[in-house]
Chains A and B, each alone.
Chain A
Amino acid sequence: MHKNHYEVLIIGGGISGTALFYELAKYTSVSSLCLLEKYEALATLNSKGTSNSQTIHIGDIETNYTLEKAKVTKRTAKMVEKFCLQYGLENKIMFKHQKMALGVGEKEVHFIKNRYHEFKVLFPYLELWDAEKLKTLEPKVIYLDKSQTKVRPEPIIAMGTNTQYTTIDYGAMSEALAEQAQKVSDIPTDIFYNTQVVDIFQKEDKTFEVHTKNNEMYTADFIVVNAGAHSLFLAHRMGYGKHMGCLPMAGSFYMTENHFLNGKVYMVQNNKLPFAALHGDPDILADGKTRFGPTALMLPKLERFKPGTYLDFFKTLNFDFHIVKIFWDLLGDSDIRNYVFKNFLFEVPLINKKLFVQDARKIVPSLSVDNIYYAKGFGGVRPQVLDKKKEKLMLGEASINTGKGIIFNMTPSPGATSCLGNAERDMIEIVKHLGLDYYVEQFFEDLTE
């Protein structure tokens, strides 16, 4: 058995894990750091550029965010932006696109107008775009036909901007974070690939033993698990987070043959649906082709496009009466029932494209089946957390801080945008727990506005 001891050990080399790796290395007096990654490279799952929408969710066009939530996401989104600017990553992995939240129909138009006034205080750059303006900025959302002669009959409005950084390859950012962490610090900052953690034990001296599938063992004073749905899997194995279950929601995308929309177009969200409403985004990894999606399909596995993890899903679901009650309540609502059924059909070959186009026409009325194709290999899994105590599906992220030197994070959207903010929270906890120095001034200067 191989044995390595580190002051802090991070499990999971996605955007959340690497963000913490970077912050600890640069802004604390930690003496040694280790990152364990299950696969052969960083960010091969949900942080990978093809797995998510590549969006910086600042909260301006995400219509399901409250102003309070947007205040938080704005801060964390700006941290991502500042990191990239600090290392000259703009126009390499981070880009500016036009973006908008589109309201269609009387009710949504009313909502967007009011939301615009409410949120402009926080996002002064926001503009309100009426049908005339949209004809110039994003004509495909306005016209019913491909030759752009007939305007759609419903009232329409958008709030948006074309001055902000909107898009990022989170996979590339994960690599940049890890690379900078190793560059900026002269302490041991080790990354081990192909290292799947199977068990974590806390010893009597309060340190931890980490056992891997290839029979290696690591020890650490503090552990943070940023392993997506597997965070909860490992927490359950240690007896933590038993009041939570995990519902993996897979998202797929459809791609246009060529450049289609000029920027990101988000729809108004139905609050009953815990997953992002359909949107169209220019894909920075596919020459700006427009990617429509994501769909939302419950998948009985924790990792997309990887073999196995079916059994892990059932263990992590933590099935009991409370879970039944949550599903019962969710499916009792006809909106959610229809949504679940429709999203299932979006994955069925032969009919999927036709059905998806019907939905996507709310964004682009002239969209036809021959404009899009199923983006094979694109998409990921969002580990949505089920709170069994509250008997409800939690929206957004969840963190289990045991207070005993180990933290488990589940970070579905907007987890990637919040990666540096979440890492800051965990870093402060680690500093407190281990009595480390925290270079707070430098941190604020580098990463906050």
Chain B
Amino acid sequence: MQKLLYITDQDEYVDHSFITPLFEIYLKKCMTVDILYFTDFKSDFTCKEEHHYVVPTRYKNMLLKELKQNNINLHSYDFVMVRNNIELMKHVLKYRDKYHYKALYRFSFPKRKVQIKCNEAEGKNQFLKRCVRAIQIKKETKIINSCDAFLPTSTQMQQAYRPEVTIPSIICAPAINPAALHTHQQHDSDETRFVYVGTLDKLRDFPTILDAFSSLENKSWKLYISTRDVEFANTLVEQYPTIKEKIRIYNAKTKDALLALIAKTDIGIALLPDLPIYSSSTPVKVFDYYSSGVPCLMTQSGHTSTIFTDEVDAWFSEFTLENITEKLNYLLSLSKEDIAAIGQKGQTRLLEVKNYENIAKTIADQLKAL
């Protein structure tokens, strides 16, 4: 059986809702997978449950040396994959010939680009940062092109953010976990419950959504928000005195808590401005909603429309006040049963085309072919 070492730049305790199903459950059916996390707090290397390594962040620059010193047989790996950290990738590439593994770079999200965009949305001049980023991307692309394969979240993301990567690409997309579906709980109250989960910042332009809600004549609704940016959310909602009583803000700490919250609602919201950072892949929140059988009102993009069909298993809306208001009015006219049926269809659709089991098989096959 081939063997993969997946090095993630994430902390050992973050919610690994992507890694766990894809790498630990399904990819493990095809190959041995060891996963390496970092810790900001513990002092020593730990090997947890045989296939989990936790390494103090101070060893990042000498990671493979540290693994060797802790009796990890680096010769045993056929593949070493690094997530998002180009310095770590450089380090792994340095030892590729010595240990004879294939080096893989996983690109999950263009974080720096998002940061610049957020700053611009707040009115900050980002000219210098844009220049620095352009240079960094050149350098990073060169390093990525020395790897054996590139694993972006979607083809569109590669085209938009790493167009000059020329090595083979293997798509590593978020999906639905067939083993972790939550049953949708039909609530007794008359109102329609909407839910939004995820980051809230200037760039996501949530006021447009709140404007739409506040213009609704039908007041039989509630909006649940679960976000880490609780302060931002509170400040924002305070600006809408007419509807603030209808909005509840949460900060679900774990994936289970989040899915449990979603399961108590009727319709998920994944409306985002028309920017490549949002349209180049399906937002993870969409999978979270459908995991609980909750249908989603989402922005139509090249990506989402390859999976869903408007009014069959989802609802599409342009990111404009008029369009969102119109869609919300329409959704408020639907019965709970109609809404639930759309959610069920969406979940079935995702299980057919975007589930971690299939994605893991495809990734394993493509890795073997390298």
The interface of chain A, by Cβ under 8 A from chain B, is: 63-69, 106-107, 110-111, 113-115, 268-272, 274, 329, 333, 390, 395
Chain B residues whose CB sits within 8 angstroms of the CB of A113 once the complex forms: 253
A271 CB contact (under 8 Å) in B48, B57, B69, B228: B57
- Closest 6 pairs (CB-CB, A-B): A114-B13, A271-B56, A64-B43, A66-B46, A272-B58, A395-B43
Chain B residues whose CB sits within 8 angstroms of the CB of A66 once the complex forms: 42-46, 54
Give A26 to B132 CA distance when docked, in angstroms. Answer: 69
The distance from the CB of B52 to the nearest CB of chain A, in whole angstroms, is 12
Report whether A64 and B13 are in contact in the complex, using a CB–CB cutoff of 8 Å: no
Tell me the total A-B contact number using a CB cutoff of 8 A: 54
Mask of B179-222 contacts with A, CB within 8 angstroms, 1/0: 00000000000000000000000000000000000000000000
Given A67-B46, A390-B69, CB of A111 within 8 Å of CB of B41: yes
B43 CB contact (under 8 Å) in A65, A106, A268, A333: A65
Given A66-B54, A333-B58, A390-B69, CB of A269 within 8 Å of CB of B13: no
Please tell me if B311 contacts chain A, counting CB pairs below 8 Å: no
Known pairs A68-B44, A395-B43; list 16 more (Cβ under 8 Å): A63-B41, A64-B41, A65-B43, A66-B44, A69-B44, A106-B228, A107-B40, A110-B253, A111-B40, A113-B253, A270-B40, A271-B39, A271-B56, A271-B57, A272-B56, A272-B57
Give A106 to B230 CA distance when docked, in angstroms. Answer: 12
Chain B residues whose CB sits within 8 angstroms of the CB of A115 once the complex forms: 13, 41
Residue of B with least CB distance to A277? B41
Give A113 to B57 CA distance when docked, in angstroms. Answer: 20
Chain B residues whose CB sits within 8 angstroms of the CB of A69 once the complex forms: 44
A-B CB contact pairs (8 Å), 10 listed: A63-B42, A64-B43, A66-B54, A106-B228, A114-B13, A269-B43, A270-B40, A271-B39, A271-B40, A272-B56
Residue of A with least CB distance to B44? A66
The distance from the CB of A298 to the nearest CB of chain B, in whole angstroms, is 18
The distance from the CB of B36 to the nearest CB of chain A, in whole angstroms, is 14
A66, A69, A395 interface centre (most CB from chain B within 10 Å): A66
Give A395 to B45 CA distance when docked, in angstroms. Answer: 12
Give A107 to B12 CA distance when docked, in angstroms. Answer: 12
Given A272-B58, A333-B58, CB of A64 within 8 Å of CB of B46: no
The interface of chain B, by Cβ under 8 A from chain A, is: 11, 13, 39-46, 48, 54, 56-58, 61, 65, 69, 228, 253
Give A69 to B54 CA distance when docked, in angstroms. Answer: 13
The distance from the CB of B315 to the nearest CB of chain A, in whole angstroms, is 34
Report whether B41 and A268 are in contact in the complex, using a CB–CB cutoff of 8 Å: yes
The distance from the CB of B63 to the nearest CB of chain A, in whole angstroms, is 13
Chain B residues whose CB sits within 8 angstroms of the CB of A268 once the complex forms: 41
Report whether A269 and B58 are in contact in the complex, using a CB–CB cutoff of 8 Å: no
Give A333 to B54 CA distance when docked, in angstroms. Answer: 20
Chain B residues whose CB sits within 8 angstroms of the CB of A106 once the complex forms: 228
Give A66 to B39 CA distance when docked, in angstroms. Answer: 10
Interface class of chain B by DSSP: mixed
Report whether A64 and B58 are in contact in the complex, using a CB–CB cutoff of 8 Å: no
Give A272 to B48 CA distance when docked, in angstroms. Answer: 21
The distance from the CB of A420 to the nearest CB of chain B, in whole angstroms, is 22
A269 CB contact (under 8 Å) in B11, B41, B57, B253: B41
Chain A residues whose CB sits within 8 angstroms of the CB of B39 once the complex forms: 271
Residue of B with least CB distance to A106? B228
Report whether B58 and A68 are in contact in the complex, using a CB–CB cutoff of 8 Å: no
The distance from the CB of A354 to the nearest CB of chain B, in whole angstroms, is 28
Give A113 to B13 CA distance when docked, in angstroms. Answer: 10
Report whether A270 and B46 are in contact in the complex, using a CB–CB cutoff of 8 Å: no
Chain B residues whose CB sits within 8 angstroms of the CB of A272 once the complex forms: 56-58
Give A269 to B65 CA distance when docked, in angstroms. Answer: 24
Residue of B with least CB distance to A113? B253
B39, B41, B54, B57 interface centre (most CB from chain A within 10 Å): B41
Give A107 to B44 CA distance when docked, in angstroms. Answer: 20
Report whether A271 and B58 are in contact in the complex, using a CB–CB cutoff of 8 Å: yes
Give A269 to B58 CA distance when docked, in angstroms. Answer: 13
Residue of B with least CB distance to A272? B58
Chain A residues whose CB sits within 8 angstroms of the CB of B40 once the complex forms: 107, 111, 270-271
Give A271 to B42 CA distance when docked, in angstroms. Answer: 5
Chain A residues whose CB sits within 8 angstroms of the CB of B41 once the complex forms: 63-64, 111, 115, 268-271
The distance from the CB of A203 to the nearest CB of chain B, in whole angstroms, is 36
Chain B residues whose CB sits within 8 angstroms of the CB of A274 once the complex forms: 43
Give A69 to B39 CA distance when docked, in angstroms. Answer: 15
B11, B43, B45, B56 interface centre (most CB from chain A within 10 Å): B43
Residue of B with least CB distance to A110? B13
Give A65 to B48 CA distance when docked, in angstroms. Answer: 14
The distance from the CB of B9 to the nearest CB of chain A, in whole angstroms, is 15
The distance from the CB of A362 to the nearest CB of chain B, in whole angstroms, is 15
The distance from the CB of A422 to the nearest CB of chain B, in whole angstroms, is 17
Chain A residues whose CB sits within 8 angstroms of the CB of B228 once the complex forms: 106
Chain A residues whose CB sits within 8 angstroms of the CB of B11 once the complex forms: 111
The distance from the CB of B226 to the nearest CB of chain A, in whole angstroms, is 15
The distance from the CB of A423 to the nearest CB of chain B, in whole angstroms, is 23
A67, A68, A268, A271 interface centre (most CB from chain B within 10 Å): A271
B11, B58, B61, B253 interface centre (most CB from chain A within 10 Å): B58
Chain B residues whose CB sits within 8 angstroms of the CB of A111 once the complex forms: 11, 13, 40-41
Give A34 to B253 CA distance when docked, in angstroms. Answer: 58
Give A173 to B228 CA distance when docked, in angstroms. Answer: 49
The distance from the CB of A207 to the nearest CB of chain B, in whole angstroms, is 36
The distance from the CB of B304 to the nearest CB of chain A, in whole angstroms, is 31
The distance from the CB of A199 to the nearest CB of chain B, in whole angstroms, is 34
B42 CB contact (under 8 Å) in A65, A110, A329, A390: A65
The distance from the CB of B338 to the nearest CB of chain A, in whole angstroms, is 40
The distance from the CB of B257 to the nearest CB of chain A, in whole angstroms, is 12
Residue of A with least CB distance to B38? A271
The distance from the CB of B364 to the nearest CB of chain A, in whole angstroms, is 30
Report whether A68 and B42 are in contact in the complex, using a CB–CB cutoff of 8 Å: no
Residue of A with least CB distance to B43? A64
Residue of B with least CB distance to A67? B46
Give A155 to B20 CA distance when docked, in angstroms. Answer: 28
Give A69 to B45 CA distance when docked, in angstroms. Answer: 10
The distance from the CB of A408 to the nearest CB of chain B, in whole angstroms, is 22
Chain A residues whose CB sits within 8 angstroms of the CB of B44 once the complex forms: 65-66, 68-69, 395
Chain A residues whose CB sits within 8 angstroms of the CB of B46 once the complex forms: 66-68
Give A145 to B226 CA distance when docked, in angstroms. Answer: 33
The distance from the CB of A442 to the nearest CB of chain B, in whole angstroms, is 33
Residue of B with least CB distance to A336? B58
Give A63 to B46 CA distance when docked, in angstroms. Answer: 14
The distance from the CB of B200 to the nearest CB of chain A, in whole angstroms, is 15
The distance from the CB of A330 to the nearest CB of chain B, in whole angstroms, is 9
Give A66 to B46 CA distance when docked, in angstroms. Answer: 7
Give A265 to B48 CA distance when docked, in angstroms. Answer: 28
Give A327 to B291 CA distance when docked, in angstroms. Answer: 51
Give A395 to B58 CA distance when docked, in angstroms. Answer: 13
Give A274 to B253 CA distance when docked, in angstroms. Answer: 30
The distance from the CB of B222 to the nearest CB of chain A, in whole angstroms, is 26
Give A274 to B39 CA distance when docked, in angstroms. Answer: 14
Chain A residues whose CB sits within 8 angstroms of the CB of B42 once the complex forms: 63-66, 271
B13, B39, B56 interface centre (most CB from chain A within 10 Å): B13
